[in-house]
Structure 1
């Protein structure tokens, strides 16, 4: 195995999220993709537009500060390959920024990119089976072009990062759901306990006890589970 192959293998391990069982750090993973992308793909610059979860704001990391600012601004204006890739989940092939057609398509993006020395760009989606969580944007110049080999490796890097991010998002969702279910079960149990206590004290049926608890909670604008907990712990006699 050559040094470049060894380096590529190390990058894949890091971008997969590290050791199995360890939590994934989405910002660190996106930053690593931007860094490794530039190093391994031989491009002038590399940027990553990331949306790790549906509730988070877009994040941008890049090998150069000017590339980061370009991608961030383009996303706000919904221009450029990164924004298109993120929105559609489709790859953007190597695009000549000096083309009049491209300038017309992205009127704000192209002049700024050319001023920074980028002559062509491409983008690859960070895409899972269900949704796209970002885009890898590759910037080329005449001296450091975006190559076919770089695009192929770039998609592989993007795929492995997307897989890690979606796996972590699914894990967070599972933990949240488990917590919600546990809370619902605990609330249900304490309500049943309170119903039993009231039924025994007042010679009521379980349904009548529930009506009493619910009526007290509504009239005092409290949660039913909180009222039930107070009854069980002897702090309340509705």
Structure 2
């Protein structure tokens, strides 16, 4: 369990990071992955997913922290039912403290969530002034709804992220927002392809392949989309990545290890 001091520190850092998106250039895909990862950590949940509405008005999965969460999200999108969809359509947070008992409204979602080991879920809308552009969904292996304070934290982080995505200086025409969201969807496809390439060439899991790719991108301050494209095209080899300036040969050998925590 995260101590109060550590939680407050991580929460402060998260808000500073999100505030930076209001004044600096940022990559939408990286922001969304970062947001859902940080929320799962701060709110002591085990996995998360983030959906955005595409130019046709349909929700699409653009970020997830694990293959298990991704499968659950895909199943509820295919079925057209689930707490995350309800959250999007109403613009109101949805908490299910016990999926097995309280998930009867969404049988397809509940069956898949329980199959993947999730027992509770909380969905938070990404909204600004009544406009809902997506939903962030946090999954837990434990029974129990988020307390009101945690629900408020999740909503506050989602609200600031939404402001960042829709900030005025990026909205120069009526099509800019749709273009940003479409780029995020295209990036997810590229990232999935890169995960498959790494999993096959490095003989590892899709989850671990994503962590390796994400760590490489963050260590070098590169957009995740760019690294994924380089992996797919063969321009970089993450089994033997180039050494960073100032990095010793000994530490270079640890470049593909999976860190316990991504800063």
When the two structures are superposed, what TM-score results if normalisation uses the length of structure 1? 0.63
- Whether contact under 8 Å (1:47, 1:136) holds in the other structure is yes
Q: Per-residue deviation at 1:40? A: 0.6
1:92 maps to which residue? 94
Q: Per-residue deviation at 1:175? A: 9.2
Structure 2 alignment gaps of length 5 or more: 177-263
Q: Secondary structure at the match of 1:127?
A: strand
2:72 maps to which residue? 70
1:112 maps to which residue? 112
1:14 maps to which residue? 17
1:41 aligns with 2:50: no
User: Residues of 1 paired with 2:155 and 2:103: CA distance?
Assistant: 23
Q: Per-residue deviation at 1:90? A: 1.7
Report the structure number with the largest CA radius of gyration: 1
1:160 aligns with 2:160: yes
**Does 152-161 or 45-54 show the bigger shift?**
45-54
1:144-188 deviation digits (Å, cap 9, x = unpaired): 864443222111111111111121685242797xxxxxxxxxxxx
Give the direction of change, closer, same or farther, for the CA distance of 1:24–1:57 in structure 2 (3 Å limit).
farther
2:128 maps to which residue? 128
User: Residues of 2 paired with 1:39 and 1:146: CA distance?
Assistant: 14
1:102-146 deviation digits (Å, cap 9, x = unpaired): 22x112111110111111112111111141011111212227864
User: Residues of 1 paired with 2:152 and 2:44: CA distance?
Assistant: 12
Q: Secondary structure at the match of 1:76?
A: helix
1:39-72 deviation digits (Å, cap 9, x = unpaired): 1110122221123767897233122221022113
Give the direction of change, closer, same or farther, for the CA distance of 1:136–1:26 in structure 2 (3 Å limit).
same
Q: Secondary structure at the match of 1:42?
A: coil
User: Residues of 2 paired with 1:115 and 1:56: CA distance?
Assistant: 26
| CA-atom RMSD in angstroms | 2.9
User: Residues of 2 paired with 1:15 and 1:53: CA distance?
Assistant: 24
Give the direction of change, closer, same or farther, for the CA distance of 1:36–1:125 in structure 2 (3 Å limit).
same
1:206-237 deviation digits (Å, cap 9, x = unpaired): xxxxxxxxxxxxxxxxxxxxxxxxxxxxxxxx
Structure 1 alignment gaps of length 5 or more: 177-238
